[in-house]
Homo-oligomer: A and B are copies of this chain.
Amino acid sequence: MTAHSNLNIVPFVSVDHMMRLVLKVGTETFLTELAMFIEEDFRRWAQFDKTPRVASHSREGVIELMPTSDGTLYGFKYVNGHPKNTREGRQTVTAFGVLSDVGNGYPMLLSEMTILTALRTAAMSAVAAKYLARPNSKTMAIIGNGAQSEFQALAFKALLGVTSLHLYDIDPSATERCARNLSGKGFTVKTCSSSHAAVEGADIITTVTADKQYATILSDNMVGPGLHINAVGGDCPGKTELHKDILLRSDIFVEYPPQTRIEGEIQQLAADHPVKELWEIIAGKSEGRESDQAITLFDSVGFAIEDFSALRYVRSKLEETGLYVNLDLLADPDDPRDLYGMLLRREATLLEI
């Protein structure tokens, strides 16, 4: 019995545990370590089962399941996207995820992933820029100063040494909030009154707006040679941020082409427009930036393997931090064939009380 006495238990990382974990590790260290897990998984890309997400669309939004497996571990994320939610004081996107043992199918971790997704998206962006932006890129424009903006700034500082930020949002209060949240974190912050002003002098442009429609956050004349564009906000059919002409001048890098063709900026291009797969750059199989004059574009949409990496990373932190609780999630009868007998024995226990 003792060896198996806790087979019913799955560790659970709540929202509060996740916050305390990030604070305990330190946000920048968390992002740096998470980025290492992402790079590790991207280097062994071929090992993964890759399937498009399974989406359930409704008038108000979408609920998606994003599974993947490396043959040893299986992970999936549940995530919703409901743009109208903020009007009711809810998050547009919430998420949770599970990591399981492929060998026996038992879940090994249940975790909140609303905060974790924000962190993994930022870590992924910074990993891409590490391979694609010009060396010594120090200044980043962030266009769109919502929930993802601070995480992007901190990830680029931690991984690339970006310390100068140009912030712009159509809502000035969002820019103020972002600047306030980042004060004392080691940045020089310039708040800008237009996207044109924000991109001036930037080495990297991050677009991370939330409009669920075709928008032109960046027009062609704003993008000079040598820039790296980190396009985070366009991430579903009908939602893009960049003018098509920018795409045609850029070397485009994507996570998983079958998904990005549908959800990314490149939905504006022909289905056979050449793109490079980011994992090939990270694994050293293909060149990233070809010259100081090239415009590189990471067309980010978020892929299941990044969530898998994030769950793996969180799991690696459980023992040392103790920041989880045990959930009684799995039935564990003494005799596995005797599920009903477990009910009967529980009944006997209740009657004894």
Chain B's closest residue to A339 (CB) is B147
Q: Contacts A15-B330, A90-B336; is A60 near B343 (CB within 8 Å)? A: no
Query: Are A107 and B103 in contact, CB atoms less than 8 angstroms apart?
Result: no
Query: Are B106 and A80 in contact, CB atoms less than 8 angstroms apart?
Result: yes
Query: Are B54 and A65 in contact, CB atoms less than 8 angstroms apart?
Result: yes
A105 at the interface (CB under 8 A from B): yes
A319 at the interface (CB under 8 A from B): no
Chain B's closest residue to A335 (CB) is B177
Q: Contacts A146-B337, A340-B151, A342-B19; is A106 near B94 (CB within 8 Å)? A: yes
Query: Are A105 and B85 in contact, CB atoms less than 8 angstroms apart?
Result: yes
A92 at the interface (CB under 8 A from B): yes
Query: Are B339 and A114 in contact, CB atoms less than 8 angstroms apart?
Result: yes
Pick the contact of A343: B54, B115, B340 (CB < 8 A): B115
Chain B's closest residue to A51 (CB) is B54
Interface string of A69-84 (1 = CB under 8 A from B): 1010010101011101
Determine, out of A243-251, A264-272, A274-282, A344-352, the stretch whose residues face the partner at the interface. Answer: A344-352
CA distance A147 to B335 in the complex (A): 9
CA distance A51 to B54 in the complex (A): 10
Interface string of A4-48 (1 = CB under 8 A from B): 100110001011100110110001000000000000000000000
Query: Are A56 and B67 in contact, CB atoms less than 8 angstroms apart?
Result: yes
Query: Are B54 and A67 in contact, CB atoms less than 8 angstroms apart?
Result: yes
Residue of A56, A81, A336, A337 with most partner-chain B CB within 10 A:
A337
Chain B's closest residue to A91 (CB) is B336
Pick the contact of A94: B69, B76, B103, B330 (CB < 8 A): B330
What residues of chain A have their CB less than 8 Å away from a CB belonging to chain B?
Answer: 3-4, 7-8, 12, 14-16, 19-20, 22-23, 27, 49, 51, 54, 56, 58, 60-63, 65, 67, 69, 71, 74, 76, 78, 80-82, 84-86, 88-92, 94, 96, 98, 100, 102-107, 112, 114-115, 118, 146-151, 174, 177, 181, 327-333, 335-344, 346-347, 350
Task: Give the distance to chain B from A115, nearest Cβ to Cβ, in Å.
Answer: 5
CA distance A118 to B321 in the complex (A): 37
Chain B's closest residue to A171 (CB) is B337
CA distance A148 to B339 in the complex (A): 8
Chain B's closest residue to A153 (CB) is B340
Query: Are B85 and A330 in contact, CB atoms less than 8 angstroms apart?
Result: no
Query: Are A329 and B14 in contact, CB atoms less than 8 angstroms apart?
Result: yes
Shortest Cβ-Cβ A-B pairs, 8 listed: A80-B105, A150-B340, A114-B331, A14-B328, A147-B339, A4-B89, A86-B336, A19-B346
